Structure 1
Amino acid sequence: MKHFYSNFLKLSFALAGFVLTSAQYSNGYIVSNEGNFGSPTAEISYIDANNNITNNIYHLANNNEALGDVLQSMYFNGDKSYLVLNASNKVVVTNRASFVKSGEITNLEFPRYTTVANGKIFTTNWGDYNAVSQYVSVHDAATLAFITNIPLSENPEEIITVNGKVYVNKSSYRAGNSIDVINPTTNTIISTITLSAGLQSITVVGNDIFALCTGATGSTVYKINTTTDTVSANIANSTIVPPSQYDALKFSSEGNTLYIAGATSVYSLNTNLATFSSTPLFTTTASGNGGDFYGFAAIDGKIFQGNSYFVNPTSTVNVYNQTGTILNTFTTTVGANNFYKNVFTPASLSTAETKLNNTISIYPNPVSDILYIKNANGSQYKIIDLSGRIVKSGVYQNGITVSDLNKGNYIIQISGKNVQQTEKFIIK
């Protein structure tokens, strides 16, 4: 009996230590730092809720192990993060909170972006530079075992999961004009959505995909219905163009607003695509080093800008409000190329009520139609999917309709006079 209690206490302390470690980087913003091509200098930075920054968190979490060469992108799904290393030809899988490595996929060729659907990991690959060999690789999400490759006709970039399907931006360096739609059950391309030339980037709002096409004659934003996989609206602007042939416009979204960054200016338009103004939200002061808005994202009503001048060993990250006032400035490692909100709170799920701060509760959980929050009328809420994307927000009044969202796990943030709480729930 004595040994039982001794072992029990040891296990309890070990679990407590694990919980503290796993929560270390799970309530703030993640910065992906690309690193210099040809060297294993890719890294991750973490900005916490109090605006404190920690650099090299992968290095710190993994016994000084180098992450790799060119961190192209990151993706969150459940309790895992997927780190896509373009020049290292691998995807590193870590715990989403602690960033402790749990595995890696290595049989890749210049991977770009990744997503998870139907228990599988889908990753875009450029393939051999000297051959037409671009593809989407498919691996088992549980075992990381290789399943198959899906050939593509052009070099791919972003890949996203929406409405039970996988969508591939098939236009590297604005050289293409189409999006392939993949059935994640059969691992086959089921349709192709054709847009105008110069497809730059795609982003998701709810169940709609928005695509930005740019070139010397202007920019066009398309809205794509993912039920029919057709264009439902589009709007053009003849004056917003890429800074140069090789410099891109950057595309991001939050709530019902789309954001475009180019050179030193940030533009916005509503997702209804009613107007596309040439007047920027704000214009920044050029750094003088180039690489302005190399990294760009709109998160929590703020604009994150990564100035990456690769001759320097560091990058400057500026955080702006909607009028262009700098709220914070941070220094990260080299090549800050993107920003992600990482809010992950493991929680027990109940079919009845999940209590928050002993004063309010969400129910039912899981939910299929309307989610209720007891004692929260008038509080602000945000519903966030597990990739960190805000899919619904507003002021709570007598229920939130969630039947228009995809089935799966979500996080709800509730902010009111007497409450500040984050909780996990399931849409079934």
Structure 2
Amino acid sequence: MKKKIFLLLTFLTINLNAQVTDVLTTGLTDPAGLAISGNTLFIAESFGADKISKIDISSASPTKIDVVSGLSGPDGLAINGNTLYIAETNADRISKIDISSATPIVETVITNVLEPTGIVIDGNYLYIAEYNANKISKLNLTTLVKTDYLTGISGPTGLVISNNILYFSDFDTNVISKVDLTAAMPVITQLSSGFDEPASLNLVGSELYIANYGSGKLSKMNITNQVVSDVAPNLGGVYGLVNNGAFLFLSQRDTNKISKISLPNLSTVNFDIENQASVYPNPVSNYLTLKNVLVNSNITISDFNGRIIKQFIYQKPTIDLQSLEKGIYFLTINKNKTIKFIKN
């Protein structure tokens, strides 16, 4: 009885009446997974289009540009530097493209992944939700060796990693769970249930946003106390989620559009944390470690003359600077805080 009462309390919802603003409402076909790099939002247009497109989110009226076509049911997307990884659901494979190329070419990374949906990168590994195999697998991006990581999951779909914790959604059983990636023997911990076909996940601070595809509702769960709240109802098959620190972007598959909601509290949280942000060692020879930086923050590294050297979305604390020449550099977080460091 106590357990039932606890689960009921953790699923009590509060309507936050978040304002949903449409970003792109025309020219899309079945928008699924999303990924972001700087001001560019990449969109997986799945069944009926089978391509990746992109828009400039800094534009007041963004125009969609096709990036690559000829895919087979593209779903989850993940960016690592200039590489965009694509889960092709219908082809049972993971592909990739170089987003810095003017004419990207689709390359196969690995085949024999059964209906891949969500994908997420952690260091040198790509975690893959294999929906039709009821498991989450782990791909070494250097050796391209794939191993089973979690099995016996019913319809894994959304994946997100933060602080060595993998959060994932079970589309078929309507639950959100987590697992500690540092554990020698991973143990699944169920966090909450009662969702409606939870698809993509996105973590903003301590709030895990959940796309309820079945009910067309965006909800969120505090990962500290597992309290679930409604964020926005009446969406058209909400599926893909990604944030740039200021906005949470979402795809609506049934109504063929991209929308966004403001993250009003994030800027304050970012500012407070960024005031405490630091890097070490400084001077640095090979690897720079960031401290007190929120996951999904925008990081820019520029040289003494202001030339941008690296620009990426922060996912892990260590940055490889082995190829950087000796000199003075500046690391900027979300355009709010800049830290000077020396490469020796």
Pairs within 5 Å for 1:11-410: 53-58=18-23, 68=28, 70-83=30-43, 91=53, 93-96=55-58, 99-105=59-65, 121=67, 123=68, 125=69, 134-135=70-71, 155-162=73-80, 165-172=83-90, 176=92, 178-180=93-95, 192-195=109-112, 197-215=114-132, 218-222=134-138, 224-231=139-146, 234-238=148-152, 240-242=153-155, 249-262=157-170, 263-272=173-182, 274-280=184-190, 282-285=191-194, 291-309=196-214, 315-322=216-223, 323-327=225-229, 329-331=231-233, 333-343=235-245, 369=286, 380-382=292-294, 384-385=297-298, 389-393=313-317, 401-403=318-320
Q: Displacement, 1:390?
A: 3.8
Q: Alpha-carbon deviation of 1:309?
A: 4.3
- Is the contact made by 2:47 and 2:73 (CA closer than 8 Å) also made in structure 1? no
Is the contact made by 1:269 and 1:275 (CA closer than 8 Å) also made in structure 2? no
SS at match of 1:56: strand
Paired residue secondary structure (1:333): coil
Q: What's the CA shift for 1:209? A: 1.1
Structure 1 residues 161, 324: closer, same or farther in 2, change over 3 A?
A: closer
Measured in 2, the distance between the counterparts of 1:264 and 1:360 equals 37
Kindly indicate whether structure 1 or structure 2 has the higher relative contact order, using CA contacts under 8 Å at least 6 residues apart: 2
Q: Work out the CA distance in 2 between the residues paired with 1:241 and 1:156.
A: 21
Q: CA deviation at 1:67?
A: 6.9
Number of aligned residue pairs: give it: 279
Contact 1:406/1:427 (CA < 8 Å) preserved in 2? no
Question: 293-302 or 203-212, which moves further after superposition?
Answer: 293-302
Q: Structure 1 residues 362 and 334, CA, compared in 2 at 3 Å: closer, same or farther?
A: same
TM-score, normalising length from structure 1?
Answer: 0.50
- Equivalent in the alignment of 2:5: none
Give the 3-state SS of the residue equivalent to 2:23 in structure 1: helix
Separation of aligned partners in 1, 2:342 and 2:36: 18
Alpha-carbon distance, 1:188 to partner: 5.4
Letter in 2 for 1:316: K
The C-alpha deviation readout for 1:255-312, integer Å capped at 9, x for no partner, is 32212211221121233463333441x23235xxxx43144333323221233446xx
Question: 5+ unaligned residues in a row in structure 2: which ranges?
Answer: 1-15, 248-272, 300-310, 325-329
TM-score where L is the length of structure 2: 0.60
Q: Indicate how the Cα distance of structure 1 residues 309 and 249 shifts in structure 2: closer, same or farther if over 3 A, else same.
A: closer
CA 1:385–1:410 in 2, change beyond 3 Å: closer, same or farther?
Answer: farther
Q: Does the 8 Å contact 2:213/2:237 carry over to 1?
A: yes
**Cα distance change on mapping 1:426 and 1:304 into 2, 3 Å:** farther
Structure 1, unmatched stretches of 5+, are 1-50, 60-64, 107-120, 126-133, 136-153, 243-247, 346-355, 374-378, 394-400, 415-420
Cα distance change, pair 267–425 in 1 and its aligned pair in 2 (3 A):
farther
Q: Secondary structure at the match of 1:317?
A: strand
Q: Name the CA shift for 1:406/1:270 in 2 (closer, same or farther; >3 Å).
A: farther
RMSD: 4.8
In structure 2, relative to structure 1, the CA distance for the partners of 1:52 and 1:361 (3 Å cut) is: farther
Letter in 2 for 1:337: Y
Structure 1 residue 326 displacement after superposition: 1.9
CA distance in 2, matches of 1:328, 1:406: 46
Q: Please tell me whether Structure 1 or Structure 2 has the larger radius of gyration of its CA atoms.
A: 1
The answer to whether 1:412 aligns with 2:333 is yes
Question: In 1, are the aligned partners of 2:118 and 2:200 still within 8 Å (CA)?
Answer: no
Q: Which amino acid aligns with 2:65?
A: I
Give the residue type in structure 1 aligned to 2:35. Answer: Y
1:122-152 CA-to-partner distances (Å, cap 9, x unmatched) read x4x4xxxxxxxx33xxxxxxxxxxxxxxxxx
Percent identical pairs in the alignment equals 15
2-structure distance, mates of 1:104, 1:422: 32
